[in-house]
Amino acid sequence: MHMSTQILVCSILHTSIVLLFQLFLSTVSQTPTMTSYQAPINPTRTRIGWIGTGVMGDAMASRLLSVGYSVTIYARNPSKVAHLQSQGALLADFPANLSSNDVIFTMLGHPSDVRQIILDNLVPFLNQNTVIIDHTSSHLVLAKQIFYAARERDCWAVDAPVSGGAIGAKEGKLAILAGGNEDVVKCLMLKVQNLNF
C-alpha cells in the first residue's frame, strides 16, 4: 500500500481552508485512475447531494448554496431545513433519490447512521462515477466497507472527517482529513479549491 500525506492551504472567497489528506486504503495502488472528474467542480455543472443537517452539516450546505451550487438535501426531519430551502436547496424523500448527483456529501451523527444511510440506502442506487464524501467521524473498517461497496458500483468514496466545529463550518475554516484512492483524492485536492468550506 502506498501511503502519503499532503497539505494544501488555499484562499477561497476570503476563506482559508486547510486540507490534510491521509491516503490509507489498501487498494490505492490497484484501483484505476479516475478520469471522469478532471474538470473542476463548479456551480454550473456539478450537482451536489447532501445528507446530514446538524449544526456543522447545515452550515456547510448553506455555504455551498450561497455560492450558487445546486444542492439536493435528504433530511430525516424536513421541517428543520426550511431555511436551506429558502436558499434554493431541493429536498429528497429518500437517500436513494440523491443517486443522480455528481458528488454526495454526508455529515452524520454516528457510525450506525453511516452504515444505515450510506451502505444500506445510498450506495446500492448510485449512478456510475458518483463520489461520496463522508465527513462523519466514523471507523476505518466502516470507511473501507463503503469504499469497496462504492467500487462495486463503479463509484468512489472518500472518508473525510472534519475538525473545526460549528464556528469553523460557518466561517469556512474547517480542517478536512481525507482518505481514499490516491488518484481520486489528488483530483479532489485540485477541485475542492472551488468549494467554500
Torsion 185-188-193-197 (CA) sign: negative
d(CA 49, CA 135): 13
Least confident range from 4-13, 88-97, 130-139, 161-170: namely 4-13
- Bridge partner residues of 15 (DSSP): 12
Give per-residue pLDDT as tens, 68-90. 999 999 999 999 999 999 999 99
d(CA 57, CA 118): 16
Residue in 4, 2, 3, 6 with CA at minimum distance from that of residue 189:
6
Give per-residue pLDDT as tens, 17-36. 334 333 333 333 344 444 44
Least confident range from 1-10, 91-100, 166-175: namely 1-10
Whole-number pLDDT of residue 123? 97
Q: How is residue 130 written as a grid cell? A: 458518483
Confidence grade of residue 11 (pLDDT, cut at 50, 70, 90): very low
The mean predicted confidence, pLDDT, of the chain is: 79
Give per-residue pLDDT as tens, 106-149. 999 999 999 999 999 999 999 998 999 999 998 989 999 999 99
- In order of 33, 61, 105, 131, 134, the CA distances from 144 in angstroms are 18, 25, 17, 14, 12
- Bridge partner residues of 9 (DSSP): 18
